[in-house]
A and B are shown apart, each in its own frame.
Chain A
Amino acid sequence: MSTPSAVKQDTEVKTYREAISDALMEEMDRDEKIFIMGEEIGVWGGTYAVTRGFYDKYGEKRIKDTPISEMVIVGAAVGAAMNGTRPIAEIMTINFAFVAFDAIVNHMAKVRYMFGGQYKVPMVIRTTTGGGRQLGATHSHSPEPIFAHFPGMYVVCPSSPADAKGLLKTSIRDDNPVMFVEHSTLYQTRGDVPTGDFTIPLGKSDIKKAGKDVTIVSYSKMVQISLQAASELEKEGISAEVIDLRCLRPLDMEPVLESFKKTNHCVVVEENWPHFGVGAEVAMQIQEQAFDYMDAPVKRVSQIDVPLPYSRDLEQSALPNPQKVKAAVKEVLNRN
């Protein structure tokens, strides 16, 4: 288990935004081959204010404002990564990553394999995901699992400030392309973050809360929803173990299987739609690798299967929440 608390290091309370910003700055100070390119990241300071102050500190050579051109933002980062730099390409929101889908899956993820291992593509796409902000159907996607479908790249989805910092630093140092997916409604959340250099390996799921009755598997913001549900369940005498996948690729199922062999029950909580999502993959692996330990079918809590609507309460009703997680847990435990 590699929780931040296990690391002997001074910590301070930071927001998710500050943790990401610190990671970027520390890495840029460490390695001059790193530069950032994206829409409104420089003079504006980043639409989520993550790169505020960077333009003044590093100048326009390393902080590159781009035109609104997602295809070339990603594609040029791939070419630049192949040719001796370490670009961080920011896609303002993951909704716009669809515009660059070809560049991501056909080139970022494949040039290494397709040319027999001649190239390394040490780049990161930083982007934001998630619904719940009344932005309507086109600006509220949570499509991380789609990107995790493709071999050749990694998909990292931090749920806390500490994880955001540690995982981003590792992503930047990795020689493979990483899609680093931040959650747009987590930027203001606070948590203890180790100061200075601090990394978390990719592909290590993390037990965010220990428990013995049921295994809740989640990632990104849904970990916070799951923890809230788990804390309420605790008062009702149900002990839930909450596992944060942290990365959808590489996917670390070991802690999930270990936990499941103990609890024999599992609920997957994901913000994306149910079809072909994280729940589908996790449930498949559980039945493949821990079939004899199953006491009940794996259940998933996800966004309901409609495009997200605008109206506030209506949108919220379509998203997972702690009540839905609790209900699912009780259902798999037959405790209704």
Chain B
Amino acid sequence: MALTKKQKLDAYKVMWLIRRFEEKCAELYAAGEIGGFLHLYIGQEAIAAAAKYGLREDDNLITAYRDHGLALARDLPPKNVMAEMLGRTTGVSKGKGGSMHLADIHKRFWGGYAVVGGHLPLGAGLALADQYNGEKRATMCLMGDGATNIGYFHESLNLSAVWKLPVVWVVENNEYGMGTAVARASAVTDFTKKGEAYGMPTMKVDGNELIETMEAFKKAADYVRSGKGPYFIEARTYRFRGHSMGDPERYRKPEEIEERRSRDPIELWGAELVEEKVATPEELEKLEKAAEHEVEEAVEFAKASPLPTEEGLYEDVYA
């Protein structure tokens, strides 16, 4: 599958939108305007962009708590995502979810979930409902590498294979589950073996390479939509920031981060666009600025939005 020129440039812009959005969140967190936990997606942007272009709009997307990037890539309005960060009524979850619980049912972005692995069975269930209702739809369920060690992972992959559920399981392997390196937590470090263990086809991709990742996602989504059962993808990546904002980062050296920054997914894609003469560096800079501007607007909107009142406390506990 080839992206159109417009899509190529949009992908570049969305990656910058995520990057700038996350940097702004860090700033607002430090200023005490965002509460709770904050997990930034910086360094993993290509995977979100790949999901945007590798999936169809009516496919399902569900992920863990590092969810801002995927939400933005799924076209949840940055204004409403930022409003959620600031706990406003205009937030995508009306200020009741926060950073880790972004969702938009109309975009079939089913949410960020904050118990590691807890959303995997939900992903299987989304796919189960589509299978039951005869909907030709893929569900992409993303998780971090740490989630492959929890019981939910094994039960969900097994069930998805036994029932041939249309799920694409994606491990975003950013090398650390919080501060524990993959090799210190997982008996096998080649995650495709964990997918193979449940009898499904697997692929390993460089998650910092947009096109490679997007093509894998598309291939897997086509496969599961055809009714053949689930697919498993390991996308190797690296997060440039800590696990969350309170991470002292004792588990890795600054040199390691520095070295990995040389493979920044946005720079890699930008270089490719210039090399292919899709855009000039100046044009790319304009896209970056446009993304930055969008983030500024989002912050203005969020700050001007009302805070929820206590009357709303009891709303939406029950249908």
Contact = CB atoms under 8 A, between A and B. Distances in A.
Q: Do A and B bind each other?
A: yes
A82 B126 contact: yes
A20 B92 CA distance: 40
Contact of A116 (B62, B93, B159, B318): B93
B319 interface: yes
A82 B122 contact: yes
Nearest to B106: A118
B318 A176 contact: yes
A115 B127 CA distance: 20
Contacts of A67: 155, 158-159, 162
A284 B171 CA distance: 49
A112 B317 contact: yes
A80 B126 contact: yes
A209 interface: no
A178 to B, nearest CB: 11
A120 B129 CA distance: 14
A103 B159 CA distance: 16
Given A102-B115, A152-B317, A72 B101 contact: no
A114 B101 contact: yes
B311 interface: no
7 contacts: A66-B159, A72-B156, A79-B128, A85-B133, A112-B317, A115-B93, A118-B105
Contacts of A74: 121
Given A69-B155, A72-B121, A76-B121, A83 B130 contact: yes
B229 to A, nearest CB: 15
A117 B129 contact: no
B96 A113 contact: yes
Interface residues of A, number: 41
- Listed residue (B94, B128, B315) with the most chain A CB atoms within 10 angstroms of its CB: B128
A35 interface: yes
Interface string B113-145: 101001111111111111011000000000000
B159 A112 contact: no
B159 A76 contact: yes
Interface of A: 35, 61, 64, 66-67, 69, 71-72, 74-85, 87, 102-103, 106-107, 111-122, 151-152, 175-176
B105 A71 contact: no
Contact of A112 (B91, B110, B123, B318): B318
A75 B129 contact: no
Contacts of A84: 129, 133
B77 interface: no
Contacts of A35: 132
A152 B118 contact: no
A152 B316 CA distance: 9
A116 B94 contact: yes
A119 B121 contact: no
A80 B129 contact: yes
Interface in B89-104: 91-97, 101, 103-104
A35 B96 CA distance: 31
Contacts of A82: 110, 122, 125-126, 129
Contacts of B124: 72, 75-76, 79
B202 interface: no
Contacts of B162: 67
A75 B156 contact: yes
A119 B103 CA distance: 10
Contacts of B104: 118
A334 to B, nearest CB: 42
Given A61-B132, A75-B152, A118-B93, A69 B159 contact: yes
A116 B95 CA distance: 7
Contacts of A175: 319
B187 to A, nearest CB: 20
